[in-house]
Every structure is written in C-alpha cells, then in structure tokens.
Amino acid sequence: MLLIRYICYFLAVALVTFLLTRLEISFPGALRFYVLTDPADVLGTSEFSPIEIIQLLILLVCGTLLGWTARHHSSQRPVAMLFAGLALIFLLRELDYFLDTYVAENFWQVMTAIVASWLIVYCYRHWRRFRIAWFRVWPSPGLTLYFAGAIVVFACATFIGHEPFWQAMLGNDYLRIIKLAVEELTEFIGYTLWLIGTIEYTYQARAIAQHEPQTAVAKRRAGRHPKSEGRF
C-alpha cells in the first residue's frame, strides 16, 4: 500500500507539472507570472498566477486534513493543531498581496502574529501531551517531508527568489518575470512536499489511533479504581 501511494504521488506531481508547463508553452503568458495591476505599477506581481492558486488549494487541503486528524485522533491532536496552525500561517503569507491591498497594510503580518502567538500558548499549555504525541510519530516519512518542504519554501525559495541575485547574474538582461517564475515554481515544489507529508502524517495518526488508544484508555480506567486484595 505504501509503495502504491508513493507511485501515485509521483504520477500526480508529474501530471500537474506537465500540464502547467504545456499550458505556458501552448498559450504564452497563461501562467501569469508577471501581471501589472495598474498603469502606475512598475514591479508587477505573480499573485494572479495559477501556480499561486494551486498553492492556496494545497494549503487548504493540508489544513483540512490536519483539522480532521486533530478532531478524530485525540492522541495526535497537539501535533496536528501545530501543523494546522502553520498551514494557516503559510496561507496568510501567500495571501499577503490581497490582504495588504484590499484590507489593510501589513494586515497579514498582524494575523500571522496572532496565529503564531496562539500556537505558542497552545503548545506550552499542552506540552506534555505534545511531547508524547511527537515522539509517537518521530521519525516518520510524513514529518521528514514536512521538514523537506520547509527547507525548500523558506531556505531555498527565499534566497533563490532574491531579486539582487538575479540582477547580479543577468545584468542588463535581467527580467523580473524570470525571478518571479523561479521563485513561485520553487515554492510549488515545497508545498507539494508539504501536501505529501500531510497525507502521510494523516495515515500514521490513523494507524496510531487504531493500535494505541484502546490500551491507553484501559490503563486510565484501571488507574481510577484502587486495586483490591484477596478474593473480594
């Protein structure tokens, strides 16, 4: 079953990537990596790109799966809530352009700070349960893919998408669309790893719930009743 899942992951990612590249080849500009929102705009944005929309959908799927895990598998609730909160933070980060433009300047940063603060308080209040849940799933393929996705999004995409880097490399031939395309495609890779990691973590949390909770419940129930001595 595990091998089949990984083959499906490969085929799904390959298919989506193939369709996106063919879309741009067949209809140049279809991926909308460089959109000028008004005549005064000189920088352009990639926020209207289908790649960005796919990233948002990925984060929504991740948040939904993690919320389901937190609700139905209480033994993994602290860890699932942490990752669900991170998915929400990433979603706010991806929506920064729209929140700043149509709501208020730096609104996404305020919302991110609120969610991050809540996560810190939640993990602190449930630290013991969090540690138990964490060591039940670590190390695991799901958490490894989470870590790999975070490296790609925050370490690789951040620096690869740094505009001075492309200006220095291309000189007078610099085009901002190249920087935006590489940055968004790199982030797409990272979020894809995050999605696969979420699916694998959900499978693992379900497996843990099927094998461990009954024993844990039995132990708690036994602990509520004093042990009797003798026959009666």
H-helix segments, the chain? 2-26, 50-72, 77-94, 96-102, 107-125, 127-137, 141-150, 157-160, 163-170, 176-211, 213-224
Pick from 8, 73, 109: nearest CA to 207:
73
User: For 155-193, how does the pLDDT look when each residue is reduced to its tens digit (9 = 90+)?
Assistant: 888 888 888 999 999 888 888 999 999 999 999 999 999
Pick from 43, 55, 15: nearest CA to 184:
55
Instruction: Give residue 213's pLDDT band: very low, low, confident or very high (50, 70, 90).
Output: very low
* Mean confidence (pLDDT) of the chain: 86
Across 195-216, average pLDDT: 80
Question: Which pLDDT does position 202 carry in this prediction?
Answer: 92
pLDDT at 105 over 90: no
Question: Which pLDDT does position 81 carry in this prediction?
Answer: 94
Is-contact 212 136, C-beta < 8 A?
yes
DSSP, collapsed to helix, strand or coil, labels residue 82 as: helix
Instruction: Give residue 63's pLDDT band: very low, low, confident or very high (50, 70, 90).
Output: very high
pLDDT at 215 over 50: no
Across 46-72, average pLDDT: 92
